[in-house]
Amino acid sequence: EQISKGKYDHYMQKEIHEQPESLTTTMRGRLIRGGSRKTKTVLLGGLKDHLKTIRRSRRIVFIGCGTSYNAALASRPILEELSGIPVSMEIASDLWDRQGPIYREDTAVFVSQSGETADTLLALDYARENGALCVGITNTVGSSIARKTHCGVHINAGAEIGVASTKAYTSQIVVMVMLALAIGSDTISSQKRREAIIDGLLDLPYKVKEVLKLDDEMKDLAQLLIDEQSLLVFGRGYNYATALEGALKVKEVALMHSEGILAGEMKHGPLALVDENLPIAVIATRDACFSKQQSVIQQLHARKGRLIVMCSKGDAASVSSSGSCRAIEVPQVEDCLQPVINIVPLQLLAYHLTVLRGHNVDQPRNLAKSVTTQ
């Protein structure tokens, strides 16, 4: 912990606020103009000798725990879209418990901030034994996962000290979006889409700076929620992962029950919980799922739900049209990058809730930064 907190009270707070810089470092030297047509492209040095094998895989399997798993989940849709390869998700301990199928034709991507998580390491040994190509995405050069995988990408987010992972999460997503761009880079039909994403990546640190201005608003919201027992977070599509990750942050540091829910599952159970008391955050920024989320909001309003809606700039009035809610407007970016923006207000909310409730921000009870035992 020789790294100073600078002007901040806690490492978690510092790490949330330094995301514009950590994201810039993650992308440095990796987005270039290349090829005969000088188009924008992605260069991931650690993968260049393996991209052909990855493109030939029958399946890509993401494996991780906690926040690292959530980052992979946020990146799954763009990887499926740009690679055309089926992508499956595995929580490391569950893969091991089931001794789930891993084949020689698979590319197994291990995502871990520390690179030392015992469950992920065990799954890595297992995937290697089964002959899969193993790729590591870690924040720790020389870590066990970095050493034991066949190839990989460092996220270069800088040391993360707070037990709650914040800047590593956003850098992991950016690396996995770059991975999707690199795998799909020889597909002419998606070139425009890839270029738009690269432009979006280059602009992302500025947009994160903008969303960090919500700090006071999130502190205000934390004040309102300080005595609550529970907070539900509804998301779907790219932002299902945001719902899971936002809820994980709230429970791990603010010690408040919180659950991330796939909005498409609302009618299959969670709707029974809705009343005028339970706070519910709904992520409804503009993307292909927006109209479905509008209808979720209407249904929650019809049941007098107490809503906090995260929406794109300019949409506050439209998301409040079916009933009153607290709207949090965030900048709109490319759909696959929106999870990087949308998690920031939830990180801030978890942080302020923790301080206001008087809990330990950087060392939540019972938790360790790196879980090196099973």
List of residues contacting ligand AGP (CB under 6 A): 65-68, 112-114, 117, 120, 163-165, 252, 370-371
Smallest gap from residue 194 Cβ to ligand AGP (A): 27
Nearer to ligand AGP, 47 or 155 (CB): 155
Smallest gap from residue 244 Cβ to ligand AGP (A): 11
Smallest gap from residue 69 Cβ to ligand AGP (A): 8
C-alpha 60/C-alpha 84 separation (Å) is 10
Smallest gap from residue 368 Cβ to ligand AGP (A): 8
Q: Which helix (H) or strand (E) holds 59?
A: strand 59-64
Looking up tokens 């050493």, which residue turns up?
Answer: 147
Helices 167-183 and 19-27, axial angle in degrees (round to 10): 30
C-alpha 310/C-alpha 319 separation (Å) is 9
Nearer to ligand AGP, 137 or 198 (CB): 137
Using CB positions, name the residue nearest to ligand AGP.
66
Give the burial class of 99: count Cβ atoms within 10 A of its Cβ; 0-12 exposed, 13-18 middle, 19 or more buried: exposed
C-alpha 179/C-alpha 249 separation (Å) is 26
Alpha-carbon dihedral angle through residues 198, 201, 207, 211, given to the nearest 10 degrees: 130
Looking up tokens 């970095």, which residue turns up?
Answer: 146
Nearer to ligand AGP, 36 or 366 (CB): 366
Nearer to ligand AGP, 66 or 331 (CB): 66
Q: How many CB atoms lie within 10 A of CB 35?
A: 10
C-alpha 157/C-alpha 154 separation (Å) is 8
C-alpha 236/C-alpha 181 separation (Å) is 22
DSSP bridge partners of 230: 257
Half-sphere exposure of 171 (CA within 13 A, CB side): 31
Smallest gap from residue 141 Cβ to ligand AGP (A): 14
Nearer to ligand AGP, 168 or 297 (CB): 168
Smallest gap from residue 120 Cβ to ligand AGP (A): 5
Per DSSP, the residues of 68-96 read HHHHHHHHHHHHHHHH-S-EEEEEHHHHH
C-alpha 62/C-alpha 73 separation (Å) is 8
Smallest gap from residue 111 Cβ to ligand AGP (A): 7
DSSP bridge partners of 39: 34
Smallest gap from residue 109 Cβ to ligand AGP (A): 13
Nearer to ligand AGP, 277 or 372 (CB): 372
Read off the tokens for 37: 């047509």
Nearer to ligand AGP, 124 or 266 (CB): 124
Smallest gap from residue 246 Cβ to ligand AGP (A): 11
Query: How many degrees, rounded to 5, is the angle at CA 175 between CA 88 and CA 200?
Result: 110
Smallest gap from residue 110 Cβ to ligand AGP (A): 9
Nearer to ligand AGP, 56 or 257 (CB): 257
Cα Dmax for the chain: 60
C-alpha 248/C-alpha 166 separation (Å) is 11
Nearer to ligand AGP, 187 or 370 (CB): 370
Nearer to ligand AGP, 65 or 102 (CB): 65
